[in-house]
Amino acid sequence: MTAAQFDAEIDGGVLALPPEMKGEFEGQVHVILVKDDARTGDDLNAELLAAPVETPGFARLLRDEANERGR
């Protein structure tokens, strides 16, 4: 099996192979698409902190309690 990885744009539902790969891949292929999420870790953290998920019965640990569990 031959595998390749590359970044590409999808235009009108069509994904074009890079020119250097056109002769290597023909006929039936297996495709996995991974969407590039534009959000950064900082953006995601800010979003989660702005709208925390409430969980019934959950109580945050105090720093001393967390440190005690780690020993």
- The model's pLDDT over 9-54, given as tens digits with 9 standing for 90+, comes to 899 999 988 999 888 888 899 999 988 776 667 777 888 889 888 8
**Could you tell me the residue range of the domain that residue 19 belongs to?**
1-53
Task: Please list the residues that pair with 15 across neighbouring strands.
Answer: 10
Identify which of 40, 34, 38, 26 has the alpha carbon closest to the alpha carbon of residue 5.
Answer: 34
Q: Is residue 35 included in any domain, yes or no?
A: yes
CB-based contacts of 16, cutoff 8 Å, min separation 6: 8
Q: Is residue 66 included in any domain, yes or no?
A: no
pTM: 0.45
Give me the number of domains the chain comprises: 1
Q: Is residue 21 included in any domain, yes or no?
A: yes
Mean of the pLDDT values across residues 59-67?
88
Q: How far apart are CA 36 and CA 15, in angstroms?
A: 15
Mean of the pLDDT values across residues 44-70?
86
Q: Is residue 67 included in any domain, yes or no?
A: no
